[in-house]
Copies of this chain bind each other. A is one copy, B any other.
């Protein structure tokens, strides 16, 4: 699954992109090269087409979806609705395992922490940000930039009813305000059983050929009624033919295609290896936990799926970064741009040597990384309850400050989302919380050492296990009302609380803030400034004829459906239902659910199941519609092949492929397996 996962220390990792290849490119809607697309694809796309696609594309919490009916129906992936299914489950009953179908709108169930947003307007604000930071030192400019972005968002929201988000493109080469219509009442309509949604499980994840019905259907509500969404995409259940052009509209999460060599080395040498070490161990603990009982298996499913997906991504990213050819290529590209700057006296005077500045900041980062990671970003303090506690403690302090001076994640614009999450009645499983807290504390002690002040402070009298048990057993934070009371009570309530998790969060807060300040001033500030300078050097040679790195904002790209050759063998871009039965073994994760086995004889075994395209996508694109030139949905993107993971750093034209659910299998399943007639009727209405 192409879930979007934040890169470790993600704050720094945004750079712009270079010359594009064949079907490479994650284009903004305001910078989409219509002429180039039309000449490549032999299509006649125009601005109206672009506007329609944009307004029918939906941003979810960490995925993409599209409106597929006039009544707010959103088509996305099963793995994008999995956390909602988990929130609607209990220890005894798993909607992830069992699937869900609302037979009628009254049965549609609210996803309490899901949001949907449609990008309705875009405004460039580069000049305003430049004015706010002009003439300031690194650190002062970093603070001023954040304050200005907060101010712009606030002003935008005050004057419109839209949700405004400041977006940094081309590493500070451009700043934009993206304005969204936001839906906060999102309900679950349909999800198949996990065993067919992610048939093949982790072993088949990021593979093709493939047989996964990775679909989920949500509905946006307004005023307790289905939202009216007149701009939507019709599903063409016939799907595309081989050779057809297809476009993908969605929200690719993060790419690092033009980080400097020094930044890539930081990822390669410790950020990714460290992440993998920690999370492979957590995987082991969760697997064993899940084996202890069926209840535990249900409890751990969502977290484990997500973790295994991320492990596969990181593993292949690491492989890519350990490929000497990549480093040679990156080094050569960097050297070429530096030579251009050196040969241009005006530019050289203006920007100096930002690559060396970044390299110096990386050396500082290496020393700060572990304490910052463990204490501030929370590797040492894991789990849902712990996160509540830290948000409550920090939020209480931040809200006493003027809006512009707060951490960006606690501005007035961000508060409603925080309140939604604190107030959501989602299940909290004490045993899982204990496991996660204990794990975080043990590894914090391992990586910071038993003599680090925070470790000594917390773990002198208790072992990690004992502390985790005491924190979880003694805390009231599993109760949404208790959380909201502390939130509303502000600093006084936090200071007065003797909830053991609040006490702990209070105790580590000064050190966490100190580490964040140090990291922002010594690493983030110089890197951001240097990266802006590199962007200027790039603009000087390439202009904006290139696309910016992915930032989980709306992008459009194009590709085609077609066969390719791998390891000397031709790969057909379509799979059929018959292949599912051939691959099934009777044992998870290759077990076909009973609902399908029961109707096996009625199914058309030639039904197309999954398909592959050469679209340039990464995590965050999950749930994106695959769109024909006529603007119809001809597939539901849910994954890439194994080579697509190196797309974080480059686009491999030969091997990188995107994987989608074919509309034909959606119809076959909805009709014959699930009897979802009402839903199907809405999807096929004229």
Contact = CB atoms under 8 A, between A and B. Distances in A.
Contacts of A395: none
Interface in A274-324: 276-278, 280-289, 291-292, 315, 318-319, 322, 324
A280 B286 CA distance: 13
Contacts of A243: none
B284 A586 contact: no
A90 to B, nearest CB: 23
A109 B463 CA distance: 34
Nearest to A272: B273
B460 A585 contact: yes
Tell me whether chain A's interface is mostly helix, strand or loop, or mixed.
helix
A283 B465 CA distance: 16
Contact of A281 (B203, B207, B284, B462): B284
Interface stretch (A230-238, A444-452, A485-493, A508-516): A444-452
Contacts of A590: 450
A435 interface: yes
A608 to B, nearest CB: 21
A523 B269 CA distance: 28
Given A285-B284, A322-B269, A450-B200, A465 B277 contact: no
A461 interface: yes
A333 interface: no
Given A288-B435, A292-B292, A461 B587 contact: yes
B273 A318 contact: yes
Contacts of A460: 585
Contact of A273 (B203, B273, B288, B292): B273
A459 interface: yes
B203 A449 contact: yes
Interface string A520-531: 000000000000
A409 interface: no
A244 interface: no
Interface in A449-481: 449-450, 459-463, 465-466
Interface in A234-280: 265, 268-270, 273, 276-278, 280
Contact of A288 (B202, B276, B285, B461): B285
A583 to B, nearest CB: 8
Interface in A16-72: none
Most-contacted residue by chain B among A204, A207, A273, A462 (CB, 10 A): A273
A588 interface: yes
Contacts of A445: 203
A612 B501 CA distance: 41
Contacts of A450: 200, 203-204, 590
A323 to B, nearest CB: 8
A262 to B, nearest CB: 11
A587 B463 contact: yes
A499 to B, nearest CB: 23
A210 to B, nearest CB: 12
A519 to B, nearest CB: 20
A462 to B, nearest CB: 6
Contact of A461 (B265, B324, B585): B585
A446 B287 CA distance: 14
Contacts of A284: 280-288, 439
Interface in A306-352: 315, 318-319, 322, 324
B435 A587 contact: no
Most-contacted residue by chain B among A283, A284, A319, A435 (CB, 10 A): A284
Nearest to A274: B315
Interface in A354-394: none
Contacts of A466: 587
A579 to B, nearest CB: 12
A672 to B, nearest CB: 27
A461 B277 contact: no
Contacts of A318: 273
A284 B463 CA distance: 17
A545 B667 CA distance: 77
Contact of A203 (B289, B324, B446): B446
Nearest to A587: B463
Given A585-B459, A585-B460, A465 B291 contact: yes
A284 B289 CA distance: 10
8 contacts: A207-B449, A265-B324, A278-B280, A280-B280, A281-B283, A284-B288, A288-B289, A288-B435
Question: Which 4 A-B pairs have CB atoms at the shortest separation, nearest pair first?
Answer: A284-B284, A288-B288, A281-B284, A463-B587
Given A284-B439, A288-B288, A291-B465, 13 more contacts: A202-B446, A204-B450, A265-B324, A269-B322, A270-B322, A277-B280, A278-B280, A281-B284, A285-B287, A288-B289, A292-B292, A450-B590, A463-B587
